[in-house]
Amino acid sequence: MRVRDVQHPILPRATADELARQRAVVNLRKLLNSRVRSQNVRRFHEEGAPAFAERHGRQPQSPDEIEQALFESVDYRLWSAANRSAQEMIWVSVGEPIFRDRARMQAAAAELAAAPDRKGSLTLRPGEDISPEVAGTDVHLQPGGYARDDSEDDVVAGAFYETGGNVFSFGQGAGKGDSKAGVVFRLLETDFPELVPNRILDLGCSAGAASAAYADRFPDAQVHAIDIGAGMLRYAHARAEALGVAVHFHQMDAADLRFADGSFDLVVSHNMLHEIGAEKRRRAMAEALRVVRPGGLVIFQDVDTRFAPTEVHKVEKNWDTRFNGELFWKTYNDADLLADMRAAGFAADSVREHAAEAVSNINRWYVVSGRKPEQQA
């Protein structure tokens, strides 16, 4: 199954003009990422740091001062403003077709969810305030954030996530064959070939692309997936049904799982760690350990922004914390995730970091994995 840019009836039907605007945003972001952002560290050394030193009589030292020095560079300020604008343009370019086609999309989703031959399921928890630290944020400026839920049949959050995510990823250089789940599939083949999961849990599943891919890759396994937003999950459930795969979606917080101990052989997450704070991250790791069986495997895959050669590179990578609705981007980049995994109780000799290559481009992903001890102490 092709995970990215797969076609199904829950996607908005964009006009030629709307698709052209989306392609323009993709090309703008490619330009900003490949040609402009790549020069930001040089701008710090050639413009920002000298201007800071002239103003303060010394070189910048702390991360806050390095950020101040970056903004002493006119070209850095221009990039920052353009990058913020391009991110906002993503949501405008996909929002127009979503809201124009909203009624049809929601009707199609409802029909798929109610079909007598449906393969999976959807369990929501109306009225519960799930993960307010995430639900109250327009993460990466997505309008309404992950938890947007405008009505009892709303699917807008999922539509925003999938269509906006494609525009974002293509602007980062991702190809249509790229897949975060594909990165984990390759890791399972190379590093854990003995694992044949019968029950899989996908944490923070968003629009369900990876969840559907696991159900397709392991057709004999029972796949469960969780996220905090009802609108996101309605979309994910209908999407999986449209693709003919069985996924059981649950509205749930990764730090407060409603599954029994030892319920799964494999627990995975994709790009979830950088969206949550340190306390919730540690609880989510402990919960993942609890619900995986003894000897079972947990894999957290995420963005490859954690390892920077200098403090300047690190500060430059943390732009998203202030300007892109990524409240915990810096928290994630600075975290000792190996220590967190060991403290949660994973077998110490099993906890590993992996620098994983993308499926079909030059980008890389960060992965940390660990096994539950065969016998708990």
Taking each helix axis from N to C terminus, what angle separates 16-31 and 74-100, rounded to the nearest 10 degrees? Answer: 160
Task: Examine the pLDDT at 144 and tell me if it is beyond 60.
Answer: yes
The span from the CA of 376 to the CA of 317, in Å, is 39
The number of beta carbons lying within 10 Å of the beta carbon of residue 311 is 13
Residue 219 pLDDT grade (very low, low, confident, very high; cuts 50, 70, 90):
very high
* pLDDT in the model for residue 357: 81
Identify the residue with better confidence: 292 or 132. Answer: 292
What confidence score (pLDDT) does residue 257 get?
A: 98
Q: In the structure, what pLDDT confidence band is assigned to residue 255 with cuts at 50, 70 and 90?
A: very high
When pLDDT is cut at 50, 70 and 90, the band that residue 367 belongs to is very high
- pLDDT range class, residue 360, cuts 50, 70, 90: low
- Confidence tier at 375 by pLDDT (50, 70, 90): confident
Residue 1 pLDDT level (bands cut at 50, 70, 90): very low
CA distance 1 to 301: 20
Interior/surface letters 161-185, b for 16+ CB within 10 angstroms, e for the rest: bbbbbbbbbbbbbbeeebbbbbbbb
Cα torsion through 373, 374, 376, 377, rounded to 10: -80
Region of residue 49 (phi > 0: left; psi between -120 and 50: alpha; otherwise: beta)? alpha
User: What's the whole-number mean pLDDT along residues 7-22?
Assistant: 96
Q: How confident is the model at residue 161, as a pLDDT?
A: 96
The whole-number pLDDT of residue 174 equals 58
Residue 80 pLDDT exceeds 60? yes
| Domain tally, the chain | 1
pTM: 0.94
User: Over the stretch 153-209, which tens digit does the pLDDT of each residue have?
Assistant: 999 999 999 999 999 887 776 555 668 899 999 999 999 999 999 999 999 999 999
Give SS3 for 40: helix
The domain that contains 82 carries what CATH number?
Answer: 3.40.50.150
% of residues, the chain, pLDDT over 70: 95
Tokens representing residue 340 in the block: 């967190």
Confidence of residue 340 (pLDDT cuts 50, 70, 90): very high
Owning domain of residue 211: 1-377
- 100-104, 222-226, 298-302, 361-365: least confidently modelled range: 361-365
Residue 377 has pLDDT above 60, yes or no: no
How far apart CA 279 and CA 289 sit, in angstroms, is 16
pLDDT digits (tens, 9 = 90+) for 303-330: 999 888 999 999 999 999 999 999 999 9
> Is pLDDT above 90 for 17?
yes
Residue 356 pLDDT level (bands cut at 50, 70, 90): confident
Output the pLDDT for position 125. 96
pLDDT tens for residues 277-309? 999 999 999 999 999 999 999 999 999 998 889
Distance, in Å, from the CA atom of 280 to the CA atom of 263, rounded to the nearest integer, reads: 21
Average of per-residue pLDDT values in the chain: 94
2 pLDDT more than 50: no
* Torsions phi, psi for 108 (to 5 deg): -65, -40
Identify the residue with better confidence: 213 or 175: 213
